[in-house]
Amino acid sequence: MKKFLVFILSFIILWFIAEWLVGFIHTLAYTPNFQSAPQTIASDIGVFSMLPSFIAAAGAYFIAENTSIRRKGVDE
């Protein structure tokens, strides 16, 4: 149960960091052109939108598996 809580907390923290990072990359990649019609960035579509979730899940799994939690003197 404790490893599950470590996984959930790690996932939430890493997901927020990854979302911020993707948003920051989009901000850097955005170059406004006021003479043309509004366009979306191509990377908004598809698997790139799931990138923060993948980063968070992989990182949280790694943290949860490599965290030793001791309970009443017994290592799980």
pTM: 0.56
Whether 7 shows a pLDDT value over 80: the answer reads yes
pLDDT tier at 72 (50, 70, 90 boundaries)?
low
pLDDT in tens, 22-34: 778 777 777 666 6
Angle between helices 51-65 and 2-29 (to 10 degrees): 150
pLDDT at 18: 81
Which of 6-10, 12-16, 24-28, 33-37 is least confident? 33-37
Query: Measured between alpha carbons, how far is 5 from 28 in angstroms, rounded to an integer?
Result: 35
Query: Measured between alpha carbons, how far is 67 from 3 in angstroms, rounded to an integer?
Result: 8
